[in-house]
């Protein structure tokens, strides 16, 4: 069975601080996808990144960066120079690799509530 | 805008009642997923449909049912509602021509059962 653990439940930082959100996953599959989603106070779920299990390269997108380490089953998310607009709940998720139409549902972690204070 | 449309956005009803939540997937997407988000349970997968057929079932109660219609929109029916059914219900879609694994979520339907 798949499992995603986000041990941090709430994090509060002051604007311009760097913050890392941790994600640890469990799966028996050798091929899988990892995701991060953001849920701002307005409630919608916004897709941030997808990474497949064969691609361990770290990725940077502006102030966001992701560190995927298969050896520790972790997919951590770092926000550099945080801003108030980064305040949201962040979810890490995992899915098996399946062709379209098959069972490719996402298993989500419990989410981390990030508060960025001015 | 994800391209997934959910209605209604908000719904208030009483215990014992029945409601229907509607979802229109992104153009070209064949899969529809329903998730329930409550404060204590997080995001729970309920059910998935692909091109009209049920493909996967999660923690969906027997009082709940869903279907996907020929035009690919989906409905989630919740009956004999209880206070604990109050939650944010998300629909997501995927499986278009360039399916890359991520799900695209609607803005959710917030159900309050009084």
**A32-66: per-residue pLDDT in tens?**
889 999 999 988 999 999 888 888 888 888 999 99
Chain B residue numbers with beta carbons less than 8 Å from the beta carbon of A35 are: 101-102
Instruction: Tell me what pLDDT residue A98 has.
Output: 63
Distances B20 to B10, B11, B112 between C-alpha atoms, Å:
12, 10, 13
A43 touches chain B (CB under 8 A): yes
Instruction: Tell me what pLDDT residue B90 has.
Output: 97
Instruction: Tell me what pLDDT residue A60 has.
Output: 86
A95 touches chain B (CB under 8 A): yes
pLDDT band at A102 (very low <50, low <70, confident <90, very high): low
Mean pLDDT of B65-92: 97
Contact A50 B102 (CB under 8 A): yes
Give the residue on A whose Cα is nearest the Cα of B110.
A43
Instruction: Tell me what pLDDT residue A106 has.
Output: 87
pLDDT of A25 > 90? The answer is yes
């Amino acid at each position: 069975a798949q499992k995603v653990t986000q041990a941090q439940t709430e994090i509060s930082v002051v604007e311009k601080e760097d913050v890392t959100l941790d994600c640890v996953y469990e799966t028996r599959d050798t091929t899988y996808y990892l995701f991060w989603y953001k849920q701002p106070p307005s409630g919608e779920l916004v897709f941030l990144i997808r990474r497949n299990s064969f691609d361990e390269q770290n990725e940077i997108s502006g102030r966001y960066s992701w560190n995927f380490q298969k050896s520790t089953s972790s997919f951590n998310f770092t926000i550099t120079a945080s801003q108030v607009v980064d305040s949201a709940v962040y979810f890490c998720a995992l899915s098996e690799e399946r062709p379209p139409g098959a069972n490719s549902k996402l298993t989500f972690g419990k989410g981390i509530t990030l508060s960025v204070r001015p | 805008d994800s391209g997934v449309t959910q209605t209604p956005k908000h719904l208030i009803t009483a215990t014992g009642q029945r409601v229907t939540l509607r979802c229109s997937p992104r153009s070209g997407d064949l899969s529809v997923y329903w998730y329930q988000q409550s404060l204590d349970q997080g995001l729970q997968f309920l059910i998935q449909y692909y091109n009209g057929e049920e493909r996967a079932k999660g923690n969906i109660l027997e009082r709940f049912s869903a279907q996907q219609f020929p035009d690919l929109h989906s409905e989630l029916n919740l009956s004999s509602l209880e206070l604990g059914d109050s939650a944010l219900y998300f629909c997501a879609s995927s499986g278009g021509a360039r399916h890359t694994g991520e799900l695209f979520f609607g803005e959710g339907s917030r159900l309050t059962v009084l």
